[in-house]
Amino acid sequence: MQGKCVSLLAYVFALCPLITASGQEISWMKLMTPQVGWAANLSHLYWTTDQGGHWKDVAPAMSAGEGIGGVFFLDTSTGWVLLSGADKEDVQQFRVAFTSDGGANWSSSPIKIPWKRYAEDFAGGGSVFFLDQLRGWVNLDVYGMLHAGRLLATQDGGKTWQATPDDSGRGGSFCFFNERDGILAGGPDETELWATHDASKNWQQVELKAPPEAAPTQSATYGPPICRDDKHGFLPVSYNRTDDLPGAFALFSTADGGVTWKPDRVLPHVDQPAPGIGVPSAVVDSTLLAVGHFQGTRTIGLVAAREGGSSSTNTSAELASHLFAVSEVTFADASHGWVSTSEGLFSTVDGGASWTNITPPR
């Protein structure tokens, strides 16, 4: 039964991985600085200090049947990896590995979850987020339920975990501004938004009014929320119109820990990759960077939208042959970034004017 967890993980992440021509898969990635970043799949955690020119596998040691279920790095040194696998009795096991030196050394602690944990009940993956070296959360993916999860919290850097007071099984991408205020985007087709302002004792569904540029709106798809500090953050939202025209992409902002949100920047005439899949984007400094078909063209471009309304778009045939092939975007600044596509992991040092394939070798 040990291989069952890996097969379940493969099922979950087959929905949206980067699959290169060599068969390599990247499920998570992050460019931390213009030179330092990481990329991970179910069995490897790759680290680079030269913008993807060279890679080193720094994954924590795993037992037979174990796989990587999630990755989070607070900075270029401090990070956590969620590990999972089924034991001989088909009971799901979770561990969280911790590093304070960029993956050179790891320590790990088991997650003692309070619910039934047979392998068929959990998908093996989960979202991980930490405020600092001590306070963090993990939302374990529930298998067989659409976008469901189990949220746990830690106060000691991942050594021990407790179920949150209101654990109603919501799955999706999340972050916390502070210990009390958090935001979660998920639900069926990423169309639900939830917030807590009492340390997860209660979660309330949030409804955001679409900006006029997005009308007439058929549906909204929420991207991964961004918590910048204890009060400020961003939320990317992709809109699908009721007519046949391209939709719109909006970046909402908050200055009160997610209590209220307002449109910060809106990009009209932007196509979603597919229904239920949001426009890949990143926010660095005061610049919004998004990948999509813009202004009715069929050419994939990277648009940089700055505060104040100015924007510029770079298009490149090197990026991907189809928009739905672009799955994720990460930038360290407005010039240096990575984009994952079905053709590989690509890097730019000039804001998207040119791209280089930096896919980690097998």
State pLDDT tens for residues 27-82.
899 999 999 999 999 999 999 999 999 999 999 999 988 999 999 999 999 999 99
Q: Are 212 and 325 members of one domain?
A: no
My answer on whether 193 and 313 are in the same domain is no
User: What mean pLDDT do residues 277-292 have?
Assistant: 90
* Whether the predicted pLDDT of 14 surpasses 60: no
- What's the whole-number mean pLDDT along residues 254-268? 95
What local confidence, expressed as pLDDT, does residue 55 receive? Answer: 97
Last residue of a domain, one of 241, 271, 301: 271
| Same domain as 220, residue 288 | no
Q: What is the pLDDT of residue 277?
A: 81
Residue 2, pLDDT score: 35
Question: Are 289 and 265 within one domain?
Answer: no
Task: Give per-residue pLDDT as tens, 74-118.
Answer: 999 999 999 998 877 777 889 999 999 999 999 999 998 776 655
Asked which of 271, 294, 313 is the last residue of a domain, the reply is 271
Number of domains in the chain: 2
Contact 244, 219 (CB under 8 A): no
Does residue 147 or residue 191 have the better pLDDT?
A: 191
In the chain, the percentage of residues whose pLDDT exceeds 90 is 56
Same domain, 142 and 226: yes
> So what's the pLDDT on residue 187?
77
Could you read off the pLDDT of 130-180 as tens digits, one per residue?
Answer: 999 999 999 988 765 556 788 999 999 999 999 998 766 788 899 999 999
Confidence band of 19 (pLDDT split at 50, 70, 90): very low
pLDDT at 113 (0 to 100) = 78
High-pLDDT (> 70) share of the chain, %: 84
- Domain with 358, as residue range(s), is 280-362
Check whether residue 148 and residue 262 sit in a common domain.
yes
pLDDT at residue number 272:
73
Q: Give the end of a domain, one of 271, 296, 314.
A: 271
Most confident region among 229-243, 252-266, 277-291 by mean pLDDT = 252-266
**Cα-Cα-Cα-Cα dihedral of 41, 43, 49, 54, to 10°?**
-90
My answer on whether 248 and 103 are in the same domain is: yes
Q: How far is CA 123 from CA 16, 139, 277, in A?
A: 15, 11, 20
Pair 284, 232 in one domain: no
pLDDT confidence tier of residue 216, bands split at 50, 70 and 90? confident
Please provide residue 103's backbone torsions phi and psi, each rounded to the nearest 5 degrees: 95, 0
345 vs 122 pLDDT, higher one: 345
Whole-number pLDDT of residue 358:
95
**pLDDT computed for residue 296 by the predictor:** 55
- How high is the pLDDT of residue 347? 94
Closest among 294, 288, 283 to 316, alpha carbons compared:
294
Contact 359, 23 (CB under 8 A): no
Domain check: are 360 and 330 in the same one?
Answer: yes
Encoding tokens for residue 279? 């426009």
Burial of 280 (0-12, 13-18, 19+ CB in 10 A): buried
Higher-confidence position of 63 and 243: 63
Task: Clarify whether residues 243 and 324 are in a common domain.
Answer: no
Instruction: Tell me the pLDDT tens digit for each residue of 328-362.
Output: 999 999 999 999 888 889 999 999 888 899 999 87
State residue 320's pLDDT score: 63
Q: What does the pLDDT read at residue 285?
A: 87
Taking residues 196-202, report their average pLDDT.
95
Are 336 and 209 within one domain?
A: no
Q: Residue 16: what pLDDT? A: 39
Together in a domain, 122 and 227 = yes
pLDDT band at 299 (very low <50, low <70, confident <90, very high): low
Residue 252 is predicted with a pLDDT of 96
pLDDT at 146: 54
Among positive and negative, which fits the CA dihedral 259, 265, 267, 268? positive
- The 3-class SS string of the chain reads CHHHHHHHHHHHHCCCCEECCCCCEECEEEECCCCCEEEECCCCEEEECCCCCCCEECCCCCCCCCEEEEEEECCCCCEEEEEEEECCCCEEEEEEEEECCCCCCCEEEECCCCCCCEHHHEEEEEEEEECCCCCEEEEEEECCCCCEEEEEEECCCCCCCEECCCCCCECEEEEECCCCCEEEEECHHHCEEEEECCCCCCCEECCCCCCHHHCCEEEEEECCCEECCCCCEEEEEEEEECCCCCCEEEEEEECCCCCCCEEEEEEECECCCECCECCCEEEECCEEEEEEEECCCCCEEEEEEECCCCEEEEECCCCCCCHHHEEEEEECCCCCEEEEECCEEEEECCCCCCCEECCCCC
Q: Could you tell me the CATH number of the domain that includes residue 184?
A: 2.130.10
